[in-house]
Structures are given as C-alpha cells and as structure tokens.
Structure 1
Amino acid sequence: MQGRQDYTAHEALVRAARAKPELWRLGLGLILIYLVGFALSSLTLPLLATLFPGDWIEGLQSGTTPGAMLVLLGGFAFMTFGVALTARVLQDRSFWSVIGHPRPLIHQFLRVSLYLIALGITLSLLPPYDMGAPLTPNLSFGLWLSLLPFSLLVVLIQTSAEEIVFRGYIQQGLAARFKNPLVWLLAPSALFALGHYLPNEAGENAVLIALWAGVFGLLMADLTARSGTLGPAIAVHFFNNVTALLLFASPTSLYGLSLYLMPYEMSDAQALRPWLAVDFALMLVTWLAARLAIRR
C-alpha cells in the first residue's frame, strides 16, 4: 500500500463521524447494532415459521436448504438497519454518510462489477479446469435458476451488511479518532478475521481461513479508503460470495443455494490447502482489478 495521500477520498466517509468521534460511541454502537439485529430476528423467525412451515428452519444455522439460506442471508438486512439507526442516534449521521453518496457508490459498484465479470470469464478459460476431483451436483439446474434472482438479492444484502459494519461503521469510527491509517485498516480486518474463525467446521484449516478473511478485510478497507464509498468493496465481496455460496459451495455448511458442492470439506487440510493458496492469489488479482476500475 502506498502513502496516506492515496486515501484522501476516505475523508468523504469520515467527515460526518468526526463530529462525535468518542470511542465509547463506537463500542456502544456495535452493541446496539447487535441488539437491533437480534430483536428483529427474534420477531421475524417465528412469524416466517408460521407462514411458511417446513423443514427449512431445521437447517437455519447451517444453511443446508434453500429456504434456510434465503432467510439466513436475508436476515443481514437487520444488521444494516441497525447501523442506520445507530449512526443517527449516537452520531447524528445519515445512512448515506456511512456508505457514501449514492451516485458515485452505484457508479463504482457497477464499474468494478464489469471488471470482475471480465476477469471471471478470463480465468474460467485458463487451467486448471477442475479441482482434482469431480464436483457434486447440489440443486437441479432448473431449481437453481428459478431461485437465482432471490439468491443474488440475499447475497447482496449479506455482503453489503458486512461491508457497512466493518468497512463502514467500524472503520470510519476509528478513522475519526485515529489519524494513523494502520489503526483503522488493521483493527476492523482483525475483527473480520475473528468472525471467520470456525474451528468446529474448518478444523486444521481454521487459522488459514481466518487469515484469508483478515487479508480480504484489509484489501476491502484499502478499496474503501481509495474510493470514498463502499461500492467497490461491496462489489468484490458480492462476487466472491456469489462464487462461494451460489456456484461452488463447501459441503460442510451454507450450501443450500449452490449449484455444485466442492469435492473437499473445509476441514480437509491435505486437499484444501493448495486451493487456499490459489484463493489467496485470486483475492489479490481481484483487488488489483477493482483498483484499476476505480482509478481516476
């Protein structure tokens, strides 16, 4: 990463937070975001279970059915609502001040998305053409296609919510208090990594997967600081999760909306670790493509 002068666009996001930069507001805000999400989920889930009875609720935590995944990912909207409420109550900020002005945000999101589509098509034409073992079909193509508009919507909700919390509320709150970019780049990324530490599911791979998430968070923080909106980070996160949740999902969990299942579980260290190295490389290439897309 280059000097601080490359992050001048970040001031557009941080400016509103500087009026009330106290760290206690940031901490209390995170608690409030959690409580709002928990309360709304507690009210919504029983209602959905009554209106749409079925076995989807049994797989809600693991995301093993289409219904469970739609509800699980769609529920991240409560997190976004929590941020909007918290920013207004504790910092007297608008929601747009957290995510960026809508016009450049949408423009950057679409531009980065076009670059990532082109990158994805290019990479699909290059070897290797498989993962060393056959993929397992999950949903039938017809069902997968019929669910795709809803699947894309809930993945967008989920990825947007995570970016709004980590690269929005937390990053801006720290940047309003600390001038050193290392603080507001690294601290939210470390929290993001901690949230992806899943030893029960990933076994020996848990630390590497958390490290991947931490590096991913750092790169998304860099994109946000360079662009002045959350648009580029949301686009990259969205395309990453579309691949991981809707196309080639892990057979361990969160595969309810996926077309195929990968041939290896998250805990399979010998088989999965070489692909984690590929994933790290792909993450860097994706970040560079997004950097190119937003370059003025």
Structure 2
Amino acid sequence: MNAESAYQAHETLVAPGRAKSHIWRILAGLGIIAGVSYALNLGAFLLVLQLSSAADLAAVVQGSTPAAMLLVLVTFGFMALGAGVAGRLLQGRSFVSLVGPLAPLLHQFTRVFLRLLIVFGIVLLLPPYDFGAPLVPNLALSLWLGLLPLSLLAVLVQVSAEEVVFRGYLQQALAARFQNPLIWLLLPSALFGLAHYMPQEAGDNAWLLCLWAMGFGLVTADLTARAGTLGPAIAVHFFNNIVALLVVASPSSLNGLGLYLLPYDLSDVAGLRPWLMVDCATMLVAWLVARLAIRR
C-alpha cells in the first residue's frame, strides 16, 4: 500500500486549509500560537506570583507539588487556544476541523486507549519488575487516588493541546501546501522533538531524549494521517504521559503527581540509556496496537 492510499483519510483534516495554504500563513499561525500561549502563561505566572511565596513559585516552575503540576499541565491548553485562533484567523477553519469529526475521534480514541491498557497491562505482569533499582515512593496512595480524576483530566488537556498544535495545525497546514508526506510528517515531528530538548535536566542525555520525542512525533503523525482525526494520536500520547507523569515520574522535574519516581534522573547516562531502548520498543508496540485498532 502506497502512502497516498494509506493516508487517504488525512484529506478530511487537510481539505479545510487547502484554499489558504500560503507559507506566510503557516508561519504567522505559529507566531499566533506562540504569542497567545506566551501571553496567557505570563498572565498565569504573574497571578501565581501575586498569590504565592517564592517557594510556591519555584514549585510551579519545577512541577514538584500536586497543585503546581496540575497548573503546569492545564496551562498547556493555551497552546490549543492559540491554534484555534490561528486556524480561524488565517485559514477560516473551525477548531473542530483541526481535530477531526468528533464522533469518529471519540470512537478511535476509545478503541486505541482501551487496547493499549490491555496490552501493556499484560506486559506489566511480566518481568522485570523494576528499573534496575527499586522505585522511589513519591505520593501516598490515598492522596494519589484522590487526585487521580483531576490528574487524568489535566494530562488529557496537556496531550490534546500538543496534538492540536503539532498534528493538528502544523501538520495539516503543511500537508495542504506540500504533497510530499516526508515534509508534513517529518517537519512537525522534528519541531516536536526540539520542544523536548532539556539540556539542564537531561545533560548528556538531552539529545537522545530529543530524538526519542521526534520518533514519538512521527508515530502520532502517521496515526493522524491514517485515521483522519487526532483521536488515536491523543490516545497514544495520553497513555504514554499517564505512565510518565502519574505512575513513574522523573525525579528531575514534573513529578508532583507521580505515584513513584524513577531510581535515577534524566541526566544519568548509565541508568537511563538502556531504558531508552525499551521505550523505543514500547513506542513501536503502541504504534502497532493503534494501527490495528483503527484498521478499516
């Protein structure tokens, strides 16, 4: 099967932007997304500054407490708002047209997410049962469970916003302009990876984590093009971030909602790099599970 036939459903997302697919519109749209997100995040930051102490402000920056982490995740929604404004002003398209028809989106999201739960639930029953060292307890189980509904909603906002920007606005705008899938698959994925470049936290592992994020972006870009909605991409991203932020978080940052912490931080070369290979294999399995779930 060639790329054109495999990605036929993508036209549902791309068509609304085809009449206004000028390069300047794409770039201006990215500027609007960045501007709206920056302005609203600055406003939220100043509000926290007025209402909180310096210690609370540091916690927000690091996402090191439950309240701080919830705030960090929810403010990702400003990116989605910016994408909606950019789509409306520059391409005359609705927000729904960026995510795809809602009924198929919800159907695909549910199918993919439930299958990921089943497959990786089975994987969890198999050895090994740690990450080379015991996991570090972070939140009390009762507190974690009490926060879980809010935590899940906040993570859903965060991943949905990233998908709307990268696999919604940017991928679709490029696909409306360029026929070659390599352009609209690879460029948003590369930018997604660069957005995850964290040299201060990850040290010598920063570029490897960046490359992993690029691969993840390519997986979700492919799923979006095959499905014709953002549902599968959001489901895979949601599942991944539930594990990475709510179940076993990094001790380096963004760990305020994690039940456990990894026994090493992001800059630990010996501890982290072997598990990056496992993460790559996990990403491949998630992609295959999602593809089977949306097969027509």
Residue 110 in 1 paired to residue 83 in 2?
A: no
State the partner residue of 1:97.
Answer: 97
Give distance in 2, aligned partners of 1:245 and 1:2.
37
State the partner residue of 2:28.
Answer: 28
Letter matched to residue 218 of structure 1: L
Give distance in 2, aligned partners of 1:221 and 1:164.
11
Q: Which runs of 5+ in 2 are unaligned?
A: none
Instruction: Using the TM superposition, give the Cα deviation of residue 46 of structure 1 relative to its aligned residue in structure 2, in angstroms.
Output: 3.4
State the partner residue of 1:227.
Answer: 227
Q: Aligned with 2:62: secondary structure? A: coil
Give distance in 2, aligned partners of 1:55 and 1:180.
50
Instruction: Using the TM superposition, give the Cα deviation of residue 204 of structure 1 relative to its aligned residue in structure 2, in angstroms.
Output: 1.4
Structure 1 vs Structure 2: percent identity of aligned residues? 58
Give distance in 2, aligned partners of 1:239 and 1:52.
32
Give distance in 2, aligned partners of 1:38 and 1:196.
17
Answer yes or no: is the 8 Å Cα contact 2:139–2:258 preserved in 1.
Answer: yes
Residue 249 in 1 paired to residue 257 in 2?
A: no
User: Counterparts in 2 of 1:111-190, with a 5 A limit?
Assistant: 111-190=111-190
State the TM-score, normalizing by the size of structure 1.
0.97
Answer yes or no: is the 8 Å Cα contact 1:166–1:192 preserved in 2.
Answer: yes
Answer yes or no: is the 8 Å Cα contact 2:138–2:261 preserved in 1.
Answer: yes
Give distance in 2, aligned partners of 1:234 and 1:112.
9
Give distance in 2, aligned partners of 1:163 and 1:127.
33
State the partner residue of 2:66.
Answer: 66
Instruction: Using the TM superposition, give the Cα deviation of residue 56 of structure 1 relative to its aligned residue in structure 2, in angstroms.
Output: 3.3
Letter matched to residue 256 of structure 1: G
Q: Which runs of 5+ in 1 are unaligned?
A: none
Instruction: Using the TM superposition, give the Cα deviation of residue 81 of structure 1 relative to its aligned residue in structure 2, in angstroms.
Output: 0.9
Give distance in 2, aligned partners of 1:87 and 1:166.
13
Q: Size of the alignment, in residue pairs?
A: 296
Give distance in 1, aligned partners of 2:231 and 2:26.
22
State the TM-score, normalizing by the size of structure 2.
0.97
The alignment yields a C-alpha RMSD, in angstroms, of 1.4
Instruction: Using the TM superposition, give the Cα deviation of residue 54 of structure 1 relative to its aligned residue in structure 2, in angstroms.
Output: 8.4
User: Counterparts in 2 of 1:2-13, with a 5 A limit?
Assistant: 2-13=2-13
